[in-house]
Amino acid sequence: MPFLKYLRVSITIVFLSLIFFLFFDFLFGKLLLEKTNLLTNNQIFKEKRIRVVHPIYHHTLASNINFKSKWGQDEFFLCTNADGFRIDCKNQNQENQIYDIAIIGDSFVEGLGINYEKTISGILEKELNKKIINLGVSSYSTSIYLEKIKFHLKNE
């Protein structure tokens, strides 16, 4: 019987320690992140609003974004057109553009963490003097590329 009593006390201590740890982590973890400027409610809210679910091709960037974001310590601007394609912020008010080249890919093509001018699309647009549209979005896969291309070709 002493073993069962010892086991019961041990389980109770572990359970209470776990509850205390979770309570402490929940209350003070978020506060610590906010106070150290690693994360703010406003930044989280904005980041969640720029990447949206799409019914056909899983996810995309939200339409008509003009957003200053952070990637590590660096700040960059993210702008999109009415279709949710990343564009140069200087061209955001131009509508019904016809593009010479479309580039699709994941975060590398999107240019996650850098301004549009430094993305593949931005560099090619300047060097080739062509109108280029950036269809890239972080975490895309080949099946999403295909569905996005089919969707936009069908709806143009």
| pLDDT digit string (tens) for the chain, length 156 residues | 576 676 677 788 877 776 776 666 666 655 555 555 544 556 656 666 888 999 998 899 999 999 888 888 888 999 999 899 999 998 877 776 789 999 999 999 999 899 999 999 999 999 999 999 999 999 888 999 999 999 989 987
Whether 144 is covered by a domain: the verdict is yes
Domain containing residue 9: 1-39
- Cα 123 from chain centre: 22
**Closest alpha carbon to 109 in 99, 124, 122, 119:** 119
Torsion of CA 61, 62, 68, 73, to 10 degrees: -30
Residues 131, 70 share a domain: yes
Residues 146, 92 share a domain: yes
Q: Could you tell me the pTM of the whole model?
A: 0.68
Residues 99, 34 share a domain: no
Whether 47 is covered by a domain: the verdict is no
Whether 29 is covered by a domain: the verdict is yes
Residues 117, 62 share a domain: yes
Residues 90, 20 share a domain: no
